[in-house]
Structure 1
Amino acid sequence: MGEGCFVGKETIYKSEGKRLITHHYDNYLKSFDFDIEQIYVDTSYGKTHILVAGPPEGKPIFIFQGGNCINPMTLSWFLPLVDQYRVYAPDTIGHPGYSDENRMSAKDDSFAQWIKELMDYFNINSSAFVGPSYGAGIILRLATFMPDKIDCSVLVSPAGIRLGSKMRMIKDILLPLVLFKATSSPKYLHKITATMSDNSMGKMDKKIIGDVFQYVRLEQEMPKLTTKEELSHYSSPTLIMAGRKDIFFPESKLNKVAREIIPNLIAFKTYDMGHFPSEEHLIKINGDIVEFLTDHY
């Protein structure tokens, strides 16, 4: 087992954080107009809460949440998939949500083992995978250690390939974050969310992100940057989607490296967006994902 197993009952929340964040979580679920099952699965890494939706006979798709975010927010980006596919969206252990709170390492095989245990619980041998940001970094760990589990994958604004400018992240994210935590002033939160979303983030998401910043001990470790050698046995069709204005993982930094390290990269799609996609970009993204899945899954 990787590091992070059997850790005691630590918490990632400060003061009333858990109540606030789970309240946002539940409200988000209520905004969906389809049935969602909420299932708990015991794994070696801790108890995992999973949202399951879509036709039971549909082909399976696992969707992993972005880091320091809540699962229904990420799931809301990919709702068209629920019409046709059986969607499994786990709350990442150690991130905001209903799963256990001990941190897992995104540098070793922990996430691959964790996913295998979730798949075994549902009797799924292999599946399609979709992950934005940190969630894409998790999928790349699975591609490294258990490539045969992946029928095809969609990596949106992916962590785990290349990072954007550290200086820009410090100036436009970290400094305003320190000031926001110190003052709770909406102007600093607005600066961060405007940078993250290219000025497109909705009011509800902004409030949730603000509460995560204030009340959650943020995951600060990015998933390991994946090497070409690690993916030498991974041959599943892969689609990458990246934003030109993404401060964390900009298209300009990802494009060349992704083409070098991912053997069966079907397409690398670029959108004129930030790290958080706008409603308009989501329409395009989902159209491209459905087309990719129709062709390769």
Structure 2
Amino acid sequence: MSIYKTQSGREMSLKLYDAQLNKLDCSCKDVYVHTRFGRTHIIETGNLSGEPLLVFHGGNSTTAYNLLMYRFLLKDFHIYAVDIIGHPGKSDEVSLSPKNYDYGKWASDVIIGLGFDKIACFGVSFGGGVLAKLMCIAPEKIEKSVLIVPSGINNAFPISTVKMMIPLLKYKLTKIEKYIKETALFMALKEEVLDKDTLDMVKDSFDHVKTKVGMPSNVNERLMQQCKAPTLIMAGEKDCLFPARKVLPRAKRIIPNNTVHMLKGCGHMHMLPEREKKMIVDFLKE
């Protein structure tokens, strides 16, 4: 069962993936590992003499786009940026349930496939939820964790997210591109966040991908408390999906070795300020 609407849509989506990857201006190597759920594709890039870092991208998005958004990591870390299975990219088109711990088991298999006993991990949005599931399933495989605007800690799907569907429906009916921007603004809040790469990714997702609405469900407190690895959690003050006021208090309660930080004034889609970039790099290098 394809995760794309059409075969030509798949080709266009992968074309954008490659184009965005090329913008990194950094050498990239394709790595494939086998997991119990299917073959998984990983981009190996960044500073090959730096500390290894396994990176999980957001949902209905790609690892290529995610690397563009968090390219500041490339200077210091040996990046393994994984295509989440069942999402746009070059991994097998096998959809896992966001409600159980399959994503955690899959991520654990990826670490084994890469030949690591343990590794530092970085997850954004849906990818933060995948990482949270991994922390529950295989805490011994995690050196450190950074979760940015993560699902899986304390998800909120308020009525306001339903409003987002109105411009999305208008776009689907008319294909007028201003409605893409209107839809994305519910998550970004500020127009300057919506650069060309972001709008290209959002348009590609709406046009060619069978959108997944289910986010990784909230993790079990008892399972999470087994993960003693240092963990940095950043959540957006105005995030309509995973607001800081919900995410950070539960993260403090259920994650033993935590550092929490609110991204002031930020929605779900954001541009990290330099201060927060430095905080992430310093945390991972400690």
- How would you bin the TM-score normalised by the shorter chain? over 0.9
Q: Which residue of 1 aligns with 2:230?
A: 237
1:241 and 1:271 in contact (8 A); partners too: no
Q: Which residue of 2 aligns with 1:192?
A: 183
- Superposed CA offset, 1:121-166 (max 9, x none): 2211101110110000001111111111111100000001122342
2:65 and 2:197 in contact (8 A); partners too: no
Q: Percent identity?
A: 32
Unaligned runs of 5+ in 2: none
Segments of 4+ moved more than 3 angstroms: none
- Superposed CA offset, 1:190-242 (max 9, x none): 11112221222102321221121121111121101113212121111111111
> In structure 2, how many angstroms separate the alpha carbons of the residues matched to 1:277 and 1:71?
16
> In structure 2, how many angstroms separate the alpha carbons of the residues matched to 1:71 and 1:54?
14
Q: Which residue of 2 aligns with 1:113?
A: 105
Q: Which residue of 1 aligns with 2:197?
A: 204
Q: Say which is worse superposed, 18-27 or 177-186, in terms of deviation.
A: 177-186
Amino acid at match of 2:241: F
Q: Which residue of 1 aligns with 2:50?
A: 58
Q: CA deviation at 1:270?
A: 2.7
Amino acid at match of 1:64: F
> In structure 2, how many angstroms separate the alpha carbons of the residues matched to 1:27 and 1:282?
25
Q: Which residue of 1 aligns with 2:115?
A: 123
Specify which of 152, 162, 172 is matched with residue 181 of structure 1.
Answer: 172
Unaligned runs of 5+ in 1: 1-9
Equivalent residue pairs, number: 283
Give the secondary structure class of the aligned counterpart of 1:48: strand
Q: CA deviation at 1:293?
A: 1.3
Cα gap change, 1:269 to 1:288, in 2 (>3 Å): farther
Q: Which residue of 1 aligns with 2:282?
A: 291
2:51 and 2:77 in contact (8 A); partners too: yes
Q: Say which is worse superposed, 95-104 or 52-61, in terms of deviation.
A: 52-61
1:77 correspondence with 2:69: yes
Amino acid at match of 1:73: Y
Give the secondary structure class of the aligned counterpart of 1:229: helix
Matches within 5 A, 1:1-297: 10-15=1-6, 16-171=8-163, 173-198=164-189, 199=191, 200-278=193-271, 281-295=272-286
Q: Say which is worse superposed, 66-75 or 115-124, in terms of deviation.
A: 115-124
Give the secondary structure class of the aligned counterpart of 1:23: helix
Compute the TM-score of the two structures, normalised by the length of structure 1: 0.90
> In structure 2, how many angstroms separate the alpha carbons of the residues matched to 1:227 and 1:282?
32
Q: Please give the root-mean-square deviation of Cα atoms over the aligned residues, in Å.
A: 1.6
Amino acid at match of 2:72: P
> In structure 2, how many angstroms separate the alpha carbons of the residues matched to 1:176 and 1:82?
35
